[in-house]
Amino acid sequence: MPRQVEVIDKRTYDPNVYYTSLDPQSSSYRNKITKNNRLSSSLNTSRSTKRVNYSLADLETKLYTTKQDDNDNQQDVNANGGNPTVMDKFTQQEIIKSKRRHMELDTENQSDLSDVPMMLSALTGIKRDKIESNGGAIRSKNKFEMPKNIHLSYRSTKPPPPRRKNTNRVVALKKTLSSRRPLQNYWDTLDQVNKSIIYHNVTNKKFFKVLPFITICSVCGGYDSISSCVQCGSKICSLRCFNLHNETRCLHR
């Protein structure tokens, strides 16, 4: 027989209390129920379902309630059959550490993590120095700094570019390019030996290479089989250049 659905009364409805989906009576117990009282037991089961309080505020109040009196706590332990409470299981240092970690995880901005000890001190009344001495943030404890002198050699990592060795020639060239001195200043800094070598090399005609005069085509720039136009005298190297010259470039056509 399917379970019956209970109608929720809006006047007595508590949003923090829900019905569990588990049947409090085990399967072995249900198998022992006779056919005569099966209907009555199924009706009682829907009413006897255990209610569980899921209110976060109530759970935190039960978990982190401070001790008010040692005698009252001892009486409560004896009344419960010797079962220890949460405060007996965990020390105050562990509870503060748990609260701090919970507040750090609940913080949205990373820059506000430094304000967690002050907020926890205002809520619990414990000094901030004692909270910070109990244990720092897990993030700062597990922080790992990569050594600067380590070189990664993974396949997915691009190898660093090889460094070029600075030779004397490269240094001298950089120094000359960065100076940007005029010729007269450079000439004044030379000694007499270098001045004489440069002067004789410049004035000696053996070191000069005089290039011959080259005639090129006015259309394509070629220098083979150069001829000139009869009308304007422009230089032409081929029949194709001659036709193009007559159509577009000749001044006396």
The predicted structure's pLDDT at residue 72: 61
More confident residue, 34 or 170: 170
Mean of pLDDT values over 164-176: 73
Considering only 116-120, 204-208, 235-239, which range has the smallest mean pLDDT? 204-208
Give pLDDT tens digits for 102-123: 777 777 777 777 777 877 777 7
How is residue 133 written in tokens? Answer: 């001495």
pLDDT over 70 at 42, yes or no:
no
| Residue in 207, 212, 175 with CA at minimum distance from that of residue 198 | 207
Q: Which residues have a Cβ under 8 Å from the Cβ of 53 and sit 6 or more positions away?
A: 16, 17, 59
The span from the CA of 203 to the CA of 197, in Å, is 10
Return the residue matching tokens 């005639």: 215
> Where exactly are the structural domains of the chain?
1-54, 90-140, 219-253
Contact 120/103 with Cβ under 8 angstroms?
A: yes
Mean of pLDDT values over 203-212: 57
Phi-psi region of 190 (alpha: psi -120 to 50; beta: other; left: phi over 0): beta
More confident residue, 201 or 81: 201
Instruction: Give residue 35's pLDDT band: very low, low, confident or very high (50, 70, 90).
Output: very low
Q: Kindly tell me the number of DSSP H helices and DSSP E strands found in the chain.
A: 13, 4
Annotate 200-248 with DSSP letters as a single string.
HHHH-GGG--PPPP----TTT---SS-EE-TTT--EE-SHHHHHHIIII
Whole-number Cα distances in Å, 58 to 24, 65, 71: 24, 10, 24
What is the residue-averaged pLDDT of the chain?
Answer: 68
Instruction: Give residue 58's pLDDT band: very low, low, confident or very high (50, 70, 90).
Output: confident
